[in-house]
Chain A
Amino acid sequence: MTSEQGPYLFLTLLGVAALLFALTPLALAWLWARVFSPAKPGLDKNSIYECGLESKGDAWVPFRSEYYLYAIIFLVLDVETLFLMPFAVSFSGLSTGAVLAMLVFLLLLVEGLVWAWGKGVLNWK
């Protein structure tokens, strides 16, 4: 490949080859379906639910947005566990700065928990 043809010619050729490599099987499959295998849509086949029962109602039901609270509390406790474990394992070898940083981090998480507590999320009704 000579340089006067442009340095991008090779890349273009490669791109075209890659595109053909991806599209040819798809085109062949499409052609095969067109020639041999007719589509047979039907009421059952096009229904949305797949457990054998007939679907009832609408799929677009409102979802309670208050579940974000559970997501946040889960995150607080989950991240806490994730970082406390290595913290506890290497506790004796840590410097004072590292322990302080970890305590600040814990404080942030505990703040989240306190906030949730104050909001009354932890009450089981």
Chain B
Amino acid sequence: MDEQLRHELGRQGIFVTTLEELYNWGRKNSLWPLGFGLACCAIEMIATSMARFDLARFGAEVFRPSPRQADLMIVAGTVTKKMAPQVVRLYNQMAEPKYVIAMGACAISGGPFKQGYNVLKGIDRYLPVDVHIPGCPPRPEALLDAFMALQQKIAQQSLTGEHRPRHLRADVPGEFPVPVFGAHDLQPPSNPQVWSAPQMRRGEGA
């Protein structure tokens, strides 16, 4: 539908929408996060859900204690290698459609503990992260910003066609391989489906 015509109709008090938009509107305003925190970022996440920052404005205040009822995973904090299998398994247990926000420097890269032998260098090695938030820890405003970015992402997802999201495609599996906590490292060290090591190319300008 022509955007101009739609705007004009809207000014006349006629609301026009599509099934797809209605569906996405409902989904983006009822994201239910999984209630779990891994480290200090979780405190900021809790603060975000409280009255001062009020995550409820975005329909996401219902932190679920069970992955069966949640569709958003906020990885808030340092993911140790011992914890990573559990995080991936929880993600697998969540119902589709599901999204991941990697909150804070640790969750996106290992952060200040990146050199640690026991720290996973970013949860995006195993899970398809939708929004990364930098910061140590990010302030609640940053989490809200990530929420809004995720909402925009959901609003733009198409219901049919080649580029429809994963949860609408029967051929794409909803589970990701759970790494095994081995003697020296997680096995495998990353999931090549979702992550590949960034290629350094020398001689090219930044």
B86 to chain A, nearest CB (A): 3
Residues of B within 8 A of A38 (CB): 168-170
Number of A-B contacts (CB under 8 A): 46
B141 at the interface (CB under 8 A from A): no
A5 at the interface (CB under 8 A from B): no
Stretch at the interface among B99-107, B113-121, B173-181, B194-202: B173-181
Residues of B within 8 A of A51 (CB): 86, 90
Number of chain A residues whose Cβ lies closer than 8 Å to a Cβ of chain B: 14
Number of chain B residues whose Cβ lies closer than 8 Å to a Cβ of chain A: 22
Residues of A within 8 A of B54 (CB): none
B185 at the interface (CB under 8 A from A): no
A50 and B93: CB pair below 8 A? yes
A50 CA to B178 CA, complexed, in Å: 15
Residues of A within 8 A of B174 (CB): 40, 42, 45
A37 to chain B, nearest CB (A): 6
B167 and A44: CB pair below 8 A? no
B159 and A45: CB pair below 8 A? no
Closest residue of chain A to B92 (Cβ to Cβ) is: A44
Digitize A25-44: 1 where CB-to-B-CB distance is under 8 Å, 0 elsewhere: 00000000000111010111
B68 at the interface (CB under 8 A from A): yes
A40 and B159: CB pair below 8 A? no
Digitize A73-117: 1 where CB-to-B-CB distance is under 8 Å, 0 elsewhere: 000000000000000000000000000000000000000000000
B170 and A45: CB pair below 8 A? no
Task: Known contacts A36-B159, A40-B173; decide if A45 and B93 are in contact (CB<8 Å).
Answer: yes
Task: Known contacts A36-B159, A50-B93; decide if A45 and B86 are in contact (CB<8 Å).
Answer: no
B67 at the interface (CB under 8 A from A): yes
Task: Known contacts A37-B96, A43-B175; decide if A52 and B87 are in contact (CB<8 Å).
Answer: yes
B89 at the interface (CB under 8 A from A): yes
Residues of B within 8 A of A54 (CB): 89
A22 at the interface (CB under 8 A from B): no
Residues of B within 8 A of A42 (CB): 92, 173-175
A47 at the interface (CB under 8 A from B): yes
A13 at the interface (CB under 8 A from B): no
B193 at the interface (CB under 8 A from A): no
A18 at the interface (CB under 8 A from B): no
B66 at the interface (CB under 8 A from A): yes
Closest residue of chain B to A54 (Cβ to Cβ) is: B89
Closest residue of chain A to B172 (Cβ to Cβ) is: A40
* Beyond known contacts A43-B175, A54-B89: 14 more, CB 8 A cutoff: A38-B170, A40-B167, A42-B92, A42-B174, A42-B175, A44-B93, A44-B178, A45-B174, A50-B66, A50-B67, A50-B68, A50-B90, A50-B93, A52-B85
Q: Hey, which bits of chain A sit against chain B, CB under 8 A? A: 36-38, 40, 42-45, 47, 50-54
